Amino acid sequence: AGGLTGLLNQSSAQMVDGSLKFDGSKPTYLKRTFGAGNQRTWTWSAWVRRDSFGERHNLFGAPNTDANGHYIEYRSTDRFQLEDYHSGLDFIRTLDQVSRDTGWFHWVVVQDTTESTDNNKIKIYKNGVLQTDTSALTHPSTNEEGAISRAAEHRIGVFPISLTEANFDGAMSQVYFVDGAALGPENFGYTDGLTNTWRPKKYNGTSPNNGITWSNSIVPVASGFQ
């Protein structure tokens, strides 16, 4: 998983090498249809710069089987949120903080409905810091599946259902979607010791075997193998 990679400056930088510009006046977006993945557990990470405010901007999402979807976005109130709407509101976490600052910011959204603690089922990080204040919060049920990671078209930069709603106006870089893993922001960024700013780093995902070649540990015994 990954894309839109590029070298970023600190979060207040106005120019970013390797970023992709989205024109909010047009339905400019990226799309990809995945095979069925893990609809309970995943991680999304991106560096985002908005060029306008007071408008709804959709960043990433997928449709449900009806006319709604599961998506990450800025609301028209400039609050950041994850929402799953399927014939009614299933779950939502909307930050209380209003985000109207210019420049680059790093967002990580983690969904893991296998968690037994409600507050751990959806986590949102901004520049490496877990956000805890919310203006709207409905927890998913344990092991609930959302639309993200289902076998459907996923979109970056526009509403997952309509091409005329919530068009993103700004730029993105270092966009990652990691299926089946709940990862912290340290996988995608770090604090610069000289400037004390949050900076990007390349995500280096490991395999399910975590680099271990298990066949190297096979031991023959009289009855077979261990």
| DSSP classification of residue 140 | P
Do 29 and 76 contact (CB within 8 A), yes or no? no
Q: Can you give the pLDDT at residue 61? A: 96
If you search the block for the tokens 């810091």, which residue do you land on?
129
Q: Can you give the pLDDT at residue 224? A: 65
CA distance linking residue 119 with residue 116, whole number of Å: 9
Q: Can you give the pLDDT at residue 163? A: 86
Q: Can you give the pLDDT at residue 215? A: 65
Q: Can you give the pLDDT at residue 188? A: 95
Other Cβ atoms closer than 10 A to 150 = 21
The token pair that represents 108 in the structure block: 């990580």
Low-confidence ranges of the chain (pLDDT < 70): 1-17, 206-219, 221-226
Residue of 89, 98, 110, 103 lying closest to 43 (CA atoms): 110
Residue of 42, 51, 29, 17 lying closest to 200 (CA atoms): 17
Going through the chain in order, the beta strands assigned E by DSSP cover 20-22, 30-33, 41-50, 57-63, 69-74, 79-85, 89-98, 105-112, 122-126, 129-130, 134-138, 153-156, 170-179, 189-191, 198-200, 220-221, 224-225
